[in-house]
Amino acid sequence: MPEWYLNEPVILPGEEFYLNAFHHLCTEKSASGLIPWRAIRAYADAYSLDKQLTETFVQIILYIDSKCTEKFRSDLESRQAIDRAKSRDSKINPRGKVTKSRKGFLGG
């Protein structure tokens, strides 16, 4: 079995509500890549959360969103670095095909 499956965290009672809310609210992400506060607040209002629970709900969703966004950006930067390294090691021949560079260990 894959490592991500074996290391899957246990979801405690009550946490499923926040995870489902986060997944629904991801469709509301703005150009900044974050879920707008107003969308989170509207979700809380739709579920008739009281004032104290709404404040907690907003904090939890914003925290999950920021961590997921950080992870996404980090993964994207890693992939871009790999792609840049690969493109430095490749060249396009006159027929438009990508070929590996023939430089040896010492650049020769």
pLDDT at residue 80, as a whole number = 80
Cross-strand partners of 91? 99
In a domain, 43, yes or no: yes
**Torsion (CA) 76, 26, 8, 72 in degrees, nearest 10:** 10
Sequence-distant (≥ 6) Cβ neighbours of residue 24 within 8 angstroms:
43
In a domain, 106, yes or no: no
Sequence-distant (≥ 6) Cβ neighbours of residue 11 within 8 angstroms:
19
Q: pLDDT 10s per residue in the chain (108 long)?
A: 888 788 888 888 889 999 999 999 999 998 888 899 999 999 999 999 999 999 999 999 999 999 998 888 887 777 887 777 777 766 555 565 656 555 554 554
pLDDT at residue 96, as a whole number = 57
In a domain, 51, yes or no: yes
- Give SS3 for 105: coil
In a domain, 88, yes or no: yes
In a domain, 89, yes or no: yes
pLDDT at residue 19, as a whole number = 94
User: Domain range spanning residue 91?
Assistant: 12-100
Sequence-distant (≥ 6) Cβ neighbours of residue 81 within 8 angstroms:
none
In a domain, 30, yes or no: yes
pLDDT at residue 14, as a whole number = 87
In a domain, 66, yes or no: yes
Q: How many domains does the chain have?
A: 1
pTM above 0.75, yes or no: no
